[in-house]
Structure 1
Amino acid sequence: MLSAVFRICLCVLGGLAVPGVRHVCCIEIITPAEVEGVNGTDVKLKCTFSSTSPVLLQSVTVSWNFRPLVPGPDESVFYFDKEPYPADQGRFKGHVLWSGDILRKDASITLQDVLPTFNGTYICQVRNRPDVHGSNGELALRVVDKVSLSQISMLAIVVGGGIVLILIILSIVVMVKVCRKRRMNRDIEMHIPEEQWKDTTACKSEEAIHLTFMSKKTEGSVDRSGDDEEEDGEEEDHDDGNDD
């Protein structure tokens, strides 16, 4: 939410009635209401603007000032006039970096390695000659310590990570078993001899036993009839001998 939006156009309408008076409108500056940064990190202070006059590097000036939480005078943080001029003394020396682009109507800066002493209000002022009227943008910076995870959070992370790891291991084991089973079935099919394949014309096991029994019985009958014929022949020979 942008609470520091300043749109105050002070147009001098007297020029409509009085010749020679020029119309002048104010510049608009937009900043966030509050920015939070962790102690020891970099924080960008965003400030954009719009102007009714052409925006040129030679015509735009930017200044950033700091108002501490405790009563006291404002402190210069940064200044831009054709080139950046960061603070060369005070608490912000070596901590300010230009992050804006004038031609893109961006006047942002970055505070490097922020400290708790940087807590306060930062004021962004932009002027684009002849568009020099208007209010400034203000934002509050709040520097906080690094948030440490509680024991409950750490326990939840450990338990959740363990469950996820177990599920991954189980999935891998199942996939390995399935792949092995498929490979074994494929190998068995490739190595089965042709004579072991099931013959669709073969009879059932009961029928095979019955046929075997009948075959043996038939062979026994044939052998018996042969023996009877031989005995009959011998008897006839014997009878012929007796007649003689």
Structure 2
Amino acid sequence: MSERGSPAVSLLCWFVCLAPSLVFSITVNTPAELHASKGDVVTLSCTFSSKDRPTSKMTVDWSYRPQSGGPPQTFFHFSSQTFPPPDGQFMGRIRWLGSPARGDVSISLINATLNDNGTYTCAVRNPPDVHGSPTSHIRLTVTPKRPSIRFSDVAVLIAFILLPSAIVTLILIGRMLCPKKQYSESKGYRSPIEVTEGEEYGIHPPRAQVQKATCCNLYLMDSDDEYEYYNRKKTLPLDEHYAESKC
């Protein structure tokens, strides 16, 4: 008798042990870690699955434990309606994103700060489904925001550094490409007063021998050449055969 009853007793024990896990099996899921920059809007995602449809008895609690340690503190509660934090560091910075009918009880943290580093716990209860894994944890790490280059900074950089450098480069290239006008004292123009034998006073060198100064000569000539050019300009007579170079 006892031998026949022993398998039945064992089966009954297994059924009693497994019954709660088969009937009550709520599960809450969140990401293990989140990383954000200072000033970001952080979505604290939390979903759940339950054998029972959510009712007005379903509750959601979000709690926070600082990175420095200490007991967790509940800062957000949901039970048919939302109850945001009335004070503290999260006041005015929590937004409800959840949809219990879809198994979503997420929230968002606005304007994240370095003081928000820590562990966030999402706890869901949906009676009578209250067993299983009703809580899940998120570890949030907020870091300083990386500096970014703005368009105004780039414009200032171009205006004060690159543009002058480009102008200087063009001037140097122009000096190398434009031939220098070489002057020699032996080929310099003589004063109208100097008259040699066989020459008449007032007769100037032929037009073919007079080389007009070009823009390239004027603006890219060396300082010595420039001085000599303007010195000759003062001594040359102005008549109908002489025309000053105009750029």
TM-score, scaled to structure 1: 0.52
Structure 1 residue 71: Cα displacement: 2.1
Equivalent position of 2:28 in the other structure: 29
Paired residues in the alignment total: 140
- Counting only pairs closer than 5 Å after superposition, residues 106-185 of structure 1 correspond to structure 2 as 106-135=104-133, 136-149=135-148
How many angstroms apart in 2 are the aligned matches of 1:100 and 1:27?
17
1:25-104 matches, within 5 Å, as 25-56=24-55, 58-104=56-102
User: Deviation of residue 37 (structure 1)?
Assistant: 1.6
Task: Tell me: CA distance 1:145–1:133, structure 2 relative to 1, closer, same or farther (3 Å).
Answer: same
Deviations 1:83-134 (A, max 9, x none): 0111112111111111110111101000111111100000000111100113
5+ long unaligned stretches in structure 1: 1-11, 160-244
SS at structure 2 position matched to 1:13? helix
Q: What does the per-residue CA deviation read over 1:50-83, in whole Å, with 9 as the maximum and x for residues that have no partner?
A: 0011223x13210000011112111112110000
Deviation of 1:16 after TM superposition, in Å, equals 9.2
1:149 deviates by 4.7
Instruction: Call closer, same or farther: CA 1:24–1:34 in 2, change over 3 Å.
Output: same
Q: Output the CA distance in 1 between the equivalents of 2:108 and 2:17.
A: 42
What are structure 2's unaligned runs of at least 5 residues? 1-13, 159-247
SS in 1 for 2:115: helix
C-alpha distance 16-96 of structure 1, shift in aligned 2 (>3 A): closer
CA distance in 1, matches of 2:17, 2:43: 42
Amino acid at match of 2:16: G
Aligned CA-pair RMSD:
2.8
- Residue 15 of structure 1 and its aligned partner are, at CA, apart by 8.7
Greater helix share, 1 or 2? 1
Amino acid at match of 2:113: L
Decide which structure has the larger Cα Rg and report it: 1
Task: Give the equivalent residue in structure 2 for 1:240.
Answer: none
In 1, Cα distance between the equivalents of 2:102 and 2:48? 9
In structure 2, C-alpha distance between the alignment counterparts of 1:72 and 1:16, rounded to whole Å: 36
| 2:19 is aligned with 1:13 | no
One-letter amino acid matched to 1:85: F
Contact 1:15 1:23 in 2 (8 A): no
Q: CA deviation at 1:41?
A: 2.0
Question: Identity, % of aligned pairs?
Answer: 38
**Aligned residue type for 2:141:** R
Contact 1:36 1:142 in 2 (8 A): yes
Q: Structure 2 length as normaliser, TM-score?
A: 0.51
Look up the SS of the partner of 1:141 in the other structure.
Answer: strand
Partners of 1:50 and 1:109 lie apart in 2 by 17
Do the aligned residues in 2 keep the contact of 1:96 with 1:109 (CA within 8 Å)?
yes
Within a 5 Å distance, the mapping from 1:189-228 to structure 2 comes to none
The one-letter code matched in structure 2 to 1:82 is S
Cα contact 2:29–2:47 (8 A) shared by 1:
yes
Q: Measure, in 2, the Cα distance between the counterparts of 1:22 and 1:109.
A: 29
- Which deviations, in whole Å up to 9, do the C-alpha atoms of 1:130-179 show, x marking residues without a partner? 001133110111111111258xxx99xx99xxxxxxxxxxxxxxxxxxxx
Code of the aligned partner of 1:93: M
Matches of 1:140 and 1:113, distance apart in 2:
17
Contact in 2 for aligned 1:45/1:110 (Cα 8 Å): yes
Asked if 1 retains the 8 angstrom alpha-carbon contact of 2:21 and 2:132, the reply is no
